[in-house]
Structure formats: C-alpha cells, structure tokens
Structure 1
Amino acid sequence: MLIAIFCRIGACIMTLPGFSSARISMTVRFFLAFSISLAMTPLLFDTVYPRVSGGGASLIGVIVAELLIGMMYGLVPRFYVLGLQFTGSAISMAIGLNTPGSSDVLEDAPDNQMTNLISFGGLLVLFMLDFHHVVFRALFDSYSVMPIGGMPDSQKMLITLTDTLTQTFLLMLRLASPFLIFGLMFNVAVGLVNKLAPQVPVFYISTPYLLLGGLLLVYFTIAAMVMQFGQYFPMIFNF
C-alpha cells in the first residue's frame, strides 16, 4: 500500500518545479516524497488498502497508473513555471539583452541573466504563497477523482495538459506584452530614422537606448509581473 501511495507522490515531486531542481540531490527528493507518503498513508488507508491487498500481477498496473497520475499533477505546475522562463527569454529579446547564457539557478541548462531573475523570482513567490500545499491537497483529493486500481483516462490527461499550456501561454503573453510593444515601437522608430538618415550608424546608437529603456521598464514592472504570476496559479491548477 505504501508503495502505491509513494508512486503517485514520488512521480509528482519528480516533476514538480522547485522540488525537481537539479540543485536538490536525489536523496533529499526521495526522503521528501517518502515522508509525505508516510504522512498521507493513515488518511488514505481505507481508500487504498482494499484495492491493493490482493497483490499479484495487478500491482504492476497499479504502479504504472499511479506514476502517470502523479506525473500529470506535477507537470501542470511545471508547465506553468516553464511559461515564465519563456516570458523571460521573450523579454530579453525584446529589450536587446542578448548576453551569452550562463548557469541556470534552478536547472543545468544555460540561460541568460534576465530569464534567471524572472523565473527564480516567480518560483520564490509561488513558494511564499504555499503552492506546494495546493498541489499536495490536490493529490490527496485525486484519490476520490481518480481512484487507485484503474488506468487513468489518457484523453482527459492530455486535454488537461493542453489546456494548461493554452492558459499559460495566454497569461505569459499578457505579462510580456509591455516589453513586446516597447521593442516593436522602438525598432519601428529606429527604422524610420535609418530611412531618413542612412549615413547614421543607427544600430550602434539605438542599442544602448533600447537596453536602457527595457531595463527601466523591467524595474517598474517586475514586481507586478511576479505577483500576477503567483496569483493566477490557483486558477491554472484548478482542474
């Protein structure tokens, strides 16, 4: 029974943002998932034990199904955080901050400083708002929505993930829209200046102003950006 609960909890933590970071050792993640599974076992005993007490080959199907359900509950917030990383990359391109990629704060993949700042700030706000409590509560309630012992509906799981991607993309596009509009208007204005005075090296003159204006815009909007990112998480995760 504990193995069945651990499969769902462990698969969720394996993909959950923050907990699945490359900066956290596998030992810490294992004991964290094991401790949460132990804490939930007394509460789920009457629900889980009758379905797994028989043993046999059906236990393999239970483990596979639990892994799929746990991964789905972890991928929804992970897609949401990856959307913020996409927003950071779009903002960096819009304001001309094309610096070489450095080591990421959360993962091993290289990324620029603006993306690291925005993604780490958004994830920190999520932890301050106890988003992991929302996820663990949803995992506990999932045993009544997706009972143990049967294979989950793959079509509903894919619809849930695609709806999450759609809502996340629309939200991140709205968060990045001031920077996209600023970059578009600035480049159109620079293009007009270049047509009026072709002899002026517009690229070398415009880049510092584009970067300065973009950084000022980041300074005035980053607080509202990460707060809206944190406030919209319950709406995205409410499936």
Structure 2
Amino acid sequence: MSEVIAGLSQLLGLAQGIAWAAALAFVRIGAMVALMPGLGDPSVPQRVKLALVVAFTLVVTPILADRIGPDATPTVLALGGEVVAGLLLGVGMRLFIVALQTAAAMIAQATTLSQLFSGAAPEPQPAVGNLFVMAGVALALVTGLHVRAAELLLLSYDLLPPGGPLSAASAADWGLAVIGRTFSLAFSLAAPFVIASLIYNLALGVINRAMPALMVSMVGAPALTLGALALMAVATPVILAAWLDAFAGQMAAPFAVAP
C-alpha cells in the first residue's frame, strides 16, 4: 500500500511540474501571439488566437517541463517575467510590420500617393502601406511563420530562462537596437523612390527655370505618379524579398543585445 501511495505522490509531483510548465508557456506564448504579424492582427478572431496559443503551448510544454524539472516553485513573479519575455518577442516581430508601414509612408509622401485610399484599412495608412503590409504578412505566413515562431520560442528559453530575472537596462538597449535596425530597413526599402523623386523634382526645377511660362506642376505631378507606379511594379518584389530576408534574420537571431 505504501508503494502505491509513493507512486501516486510521484505522479502528482510530475503532473504539478507539467502543469506549471504549461502555465509558463501559455503566458509567454499568449503575450507573443498578441503582437505577432498576421496571427495577432485585430481582424483575427479571439477564439482563433486562443486556439493558436493552445497549439503552441502543447508543442513547447514537454520541452519546457524537462528544463524546469518537477521541483519548480510556482510564483507570480515568474509569470510576470514570462509576460515580459513574450512581449519582447512579439515587439521584435511587430516592429518589422512598422518598418513596412514607415517605408510605405515615405514612398507615398515622395510620390504624391499619400492620400489615395488612406482609410481602406483598420489603421489609416496610404494605399502603398496596405499593399506592403498585406503582401509582407502573406509572404511570412506562406514561408512558415508558425514554424519559425515555434523555433523562436524554443530558442527564447535559452536566452530568457523561465522564471529568470530580466535586466531592464539590457532590455532597453535591445529595444533601441532593434528599433534602429527596423527604421534603417524602412529607409533602405524606400530609398529607390526617395532618390527617384529627388532627381525628378530637381529636373522639374531646372525646367521651370528654363521655361518660366510652362506650368511645370500641372505636367510634373501626373508624370511623377505614373513613374512611381511603374517603379513600384518593378521594385515591389525586390523590396518584399529584402524585407522577408531581414525578418527571417530577426526570427533566427532575435536578440542583438540579450535582455
């Protein structure tokens, strides 16, 4: 009888360890999914998001349970640390969508397309922004965003151990680094349009000086829009490919400065 009780006690301890690992994984994954591109968008129903979080939790829990062991002590502080870790992972991915939106805003301002269909999305943005964001999210999902997200979660437990302390200074340094990298990426994506617009406007200024009687603005604005659309048709695949490579690099090495 004592052997049965001892076996049941051991099973109870093991079940408690698995339940605590599942709780830690659920909290981190829930915070990350809330900010993920595509899966965390407001248009995705809450039930679908919950199903995704549960699916990711089922994948991560067995590995996490082996790492923390059955003797881990549940604490509220550990749950709070998991929320912060999940938010860091989600912000790192969400900033690449912000990079697309920033690049699109720069392109729209440089090519007089800033007000075309500006309210067609839940978040008002130029038509170029709608195109880039939808295409970028679609490419990320087609190329296995869910698989890379699971790999990112497993990698994050090496860099951010469950229940471990988080350095606010390191997290701030990492945030500044990733924000700078994403804004640099945004300018790089918009650079062809900005340079072409600068050259075109300089040429219009020279023409205006040479022929003051000519209504340069009446002729130049439609030509600028047409040229921007033609350049967009050529450059958009290259822009999205460069963005996807940068996003894959972020998923593979999420912390330029370890928090």
TM-score (norm 1): 0.90
* Counterpart residue number, 2:119: 102
- Say if 2:87 is the partner of 1:67: no
Tell me by how many angstroms 1:199 deviates. 2.7
SS at structure 1 position matched to 2:212: coil
Structure 1: runs of 5+ lacking an equivalent: none
CA contact (8 A) 2:35 2:87 kept: yes
Moved more, 65-74 or 25-34: 25-34
1:29 maps to a residue whose letter is K
Q: Distance in 2 between matches of 1:221 and 1:4?
A: 44
Q: 1:91 aligned to 2:107?
A: yes
Secondary structure of the 1:17 match is coil
For the Cα contact (< 8 Å) 2:25–2:61, is it kept in 1? yes
CA deviations on 1:99-137 (whole Å, 9 max, x unpaired) are: 241222xxx211221111112112211222223322321
**Which residue identity does 2:243 align to in structure 1?**
F
Partner of 1:10: 30
Amino acid at match of 2:120: S
SS at match of 1:96: coil
Structure 1 ranges of 4+ moved more than 3 A: 48-52
Of all paired residues, the percent bearing the same amino acid is 25
Equivalent residue pairs, number: 232
1:132-169 per-residue CA deviation (whole Å, 9 max, x = no partner) reads 32232121122232222222122222222221122222
Is it true that 1:190 corresponds to 2:204 in the alignment?
yes
Equivalent in the alignment of 2:52: 32
Q: 2:4 aligns to what? A: none
After TM superposition, the structure 1 stretch with the greater mean CA deviation from structure 2, 175-184 or 225-234, is: 225-234
Alignment match of 1:219 (pick from 215, 218, 233): 233
Q: 1:38 Cα shift? A: 2.1
String of CA shifts for 1:40-85, please: whole Å, max 9, x gaps.
Answer: 2122212235464x34xxx210111000000101111110121011
Q: Give the direction of change, closer, same or farther, for the CA distance of 1:142–1:236 in structure 2 (3 Å limit).
A: closer
Taking structure 1 as reference, are residues 113 and 44 closer, same or farther at Cα in structure 2, changes over 3 Å only?
same
Q: What does residue range 125-164 of structure 1 map to in structure 2 within 5 Å?
A: 125-164=139-178
TM-score (norm 2): 0.84
1:152 aligned partner, one-letter code: L
Tell me what 2:94 maps to.
78
Q: What is the CA–CA distance in structure 2 between the aligned matches of 1:147 and 1:34, rounded to whole Å?
A: 20
Greater shift after overlay, 10-19 or 142-151? 142-151
CA RMSD of aligned residues (A): 1.7
